[in-house]
Amino acid sequence: MAPDSLTASLAVAGSPGEVSPEQSVGEAPDAALLAAIARLPAGSRVVVDADETLFLGNTTEAYLSALRPALLGSLLLFLLDLLRPWRFLPGRGDREEVRDWVRVVVATLLFPWTPLWWRHRAQRVAREGGNRPLLAALAGNPGLRLVVGGSGLGFIIAPLLEPLGLAAATLATVGFWRGRRDLARGVRGRLGPACGGEAPALILSTRMEAGELGPWGGSLRSIRWPGACREAAITGVFIPFLYMERAKRPGSRYFLKVVLLEDFAIVGIAMVVINPFPHILALTMLGFHLSLWCIYEAGYVENDRVAERYEADPHLNPGYQRQLTWYREWKAWLWAAGFAVAGLACLGEYRSLTRAPDGFPPWPTVAVSWLGVLLLVRLTYRWFNYLDKPSRPWVYLLLQSWKYYPFALIAPIYWLGAAMMSAQILARWQAYILYRTTAGGWPDSIGALRFVLLLLLMVGFGLARGELPHFLTLLEWIQGGLILLVFGFKGRKHIRRVLGKGRWITSV
């Protein structure tokens, strides 16, 4: 049946049941479409997208949920989303289907038993996640030539078809090794061989677009089926920092850009770069830094819960409720303890290397002190969350301070590093004050303010120590230059914008 005759068939069912080729993805299907599928002549070719159409979920995410051990699989997926290696592939490596293919390939190579386990698990996934109304309509017309397409991988989709009696369907999917080439061919290029070059009578998909189907676009019905959604893989496993990535700061890569490349980078430059064993000390600080952030994230969770309960218009991201179903604060404390133990182990190695650990307290002292830090961070955040918003800036200053100064309990902080930490704390504090006292929202950048504060604090600390300018050691010159370079580079756009606004009054 041609696309025009299909549309006519749908129109006969009455105007409430009419489904046009341009039907928006937001509309739910009705009985007219399903009845039209059942009336298609024998031999008609029907293309159905596997993801969110034939199956209401996403087949890639369902497969990745089969990774075992689940904890290691979840950590791998978190790291892949953190590093995004698909960006370095030629072409449009940022597309979702390229991301899916890379994740499946890497996960399968590192967990090679997953395909075997998936064949067993696929039977239950097919029974529970199949689109029953559509499957019933297809089963009612056994003469149809079904093509299952989309951007999913064939070895994932094939085991899902067998339990549903659709093993004879033709696959127009993505290959495991040739996935990059298949994706580059586009949807039309993958469907062409499977359809024998003939235009299908009907194409059902929520993800395909008429433009990428070329002359076959008139056969497309883009329909969002009730219950169809893409649920992230392995959602039931607790992984620290996942809440801030998916619920608190979704899409911003907050863990990488802020937790690691900003906060930890400042700690490293302030305490590690001029140390005789920087690699060991860096691992030590990383362990304690991640330990602190496990508890800091618990404050984020509580902040959203308090906002939902007490605020008239809470600003919560869509993934908030879903992430709360698996978040457990006691597990965050276990992870914090694990990271701290790793930090203590590295600290012990550092002490054995230096053989003169002046300024480095023994590990029992560090362990007890760090527990006190974590409790202090959590209690401060609880104070912050239950305080009225106009009063929060003063507590926010404490929260920012706990991100940096407690590392002095583990190793000495050089005075130039202390200036760097203080400039960061004060700049963020001023940004939060502006956020709370103005209608403009969070400032776009604090680069210029942070750089000016850094200069003032470095000069002030240096004068107080009597070390400016001739008594700086070579290592202090190196550290100071690196600090200025880092803050200057990070704030370069804001600094240039601020300087560009200045005008001589004689030229006005």
Q: Which amino acid is at 429?
A: W
Which three-class secondary structure state does DSSP give residue 468? coil
CB 94 within 8 A of CB 87: yes
- Give burial (CB, 10 Å; 0-12/13-18/19+) of 198: exposed
- What do you get for the CA distance between the two ends of the chain, in Å? 73
- CA–CA separation, 63 vs 58, rounded Å? 9
What string of pLDDT tens digits covers the 508 residues of the chain? 444 445 444 443 333 333 344 443 444 456 777 887 888 888 888 888 888 888 888 999 999 999 999 889 999 998 998 888 888 887 665 588 889 999 999 999 999 999 999 998 988 888 888 888 888 888 888 888 888 888 889 899 999 998 888 888 888 888 899 888 888 888 777 887 877 777 787 888 887 776 667 667 667 777 777 777 778 777 778 889 988 888 888 878 889 899 999 999 999 998 887 777 888 889 999 999 999 999 999 999 999 899 888 888 787 877 777 777 788 899 999 999 999 999 999 888 877 777 655 556 777 888 999 999 999 999 999 999 999 988 999 999 999 999 999 998 888 888 888 999 999 999 999 989 988 888 767 776 788 888 889 989 988 887 777 656 556 677 778 888 888 888 888 877 877 777 777 677 775 5
- CA–CA separation, 81 vs 386, rounded Å? 33
CB 478 within 8 A of CB 273: yes
Contacts of 150 by beta carbon, 8 Å cutoff, 6+ apart: 49, 50, 51, 53, 59, 157, 172, 173, 205, 207, 208
- CA 245 to each of CA 78, 253, 329, 446: distance values in angstroms, whole numbers, following the listed order: 9, 6, 16, 22
> Which of the 8 DSSP states describes residue 316?
-
CA dihedral 105, 107, 111, 114 (to 10 degrees): -80
- CA 20 to each of CA 66, 97, 281, 317, 500: distance values in angstroms, whole numbers, following the listed order: 38, 27, 64, 34, 54
CB 378 within 8 A of CB 298: yes
- CA 401 to each of CA 36, 206, 339, 429: distance values in angstroms, whole numbers, following the listed order: 65, 48, 20, 10
CA dihedral 258, 264, 267, 268 (to 10 degrees): -130
CB 291 within 8 A of CB 333: no
Of 121, 118, 86, 112, give the one whose Cα is nearest residue 100.
Answer: 86
CB 314 within 8 A of CB 326: no
* Entry pTM: 0.79
- CA 320 to each of CA 82, 242, 244, 272, 384: distance values in angstroms, whole numbers, following the listed order: 20, 11, 10, 37, 20
Residue 420 CB neighbours (<10 A): 30
- CA–CA separation, 189 vs 199, rounded Å? 13
CB 8 within 8 A of CB 32: no
